[in-house]
Amino acid sequence: MAIDWIGFAYAALVAVGGVLGYTRKGSKISLAAGLTFGSVAGYGAYCVTRDPRNVKISLYSCHSTSDSSQYQWKLFSFSSCMV
């Protein structure tokens, strides 16, 4: 049984990114999203470690993190152009 080091590293980076967003800008949403998505990604990496064919949670976590980031980027990039 091989450990999914890449999945655990991704989960840690997502969680650390949320904490950094909170400490640098005071964004509680960043903290909540980072910890939520990081823990889901960590659980996904755990599931892949247990059964290498069970990638549904890891894919869902990556997809939802990507969607959330794209939504925030579009929201803030268009609102800053209007000012």
User: Are 14 and 33 within 8 A, CB to CB?
Assistant: no
- pTM for this prediction: 0.79
Per-residue pLDDT of the chain (83 residues; tens, 9 = 90+): 799 999 999 999 999 999 999 999 998 988 999 999 999 999 999 999 999 999 999 889 888 888 877 776 776 666 555 55
For residue 77, the enclosing domain spans: 5-81
**How many CB atoms are closer than 10 A to CB 53?**
7
Provide the number of structural domains found in the chain.
Answer: 1
Structure tokens given for 17:
């990114």
Dihedral angle of Cα 27, 33, 36, 38, to the nearest 10 degrees: -100
**How many CB atoms are closer than 10 A to CB 12?**
14
Identify which of 35, 18, 36 has the alpha carbon closest to the alpha carbon of residue 27. 18
Instruction: Quote the distance between the C-alpha of residue 2 and its chain's center.
Output: 23
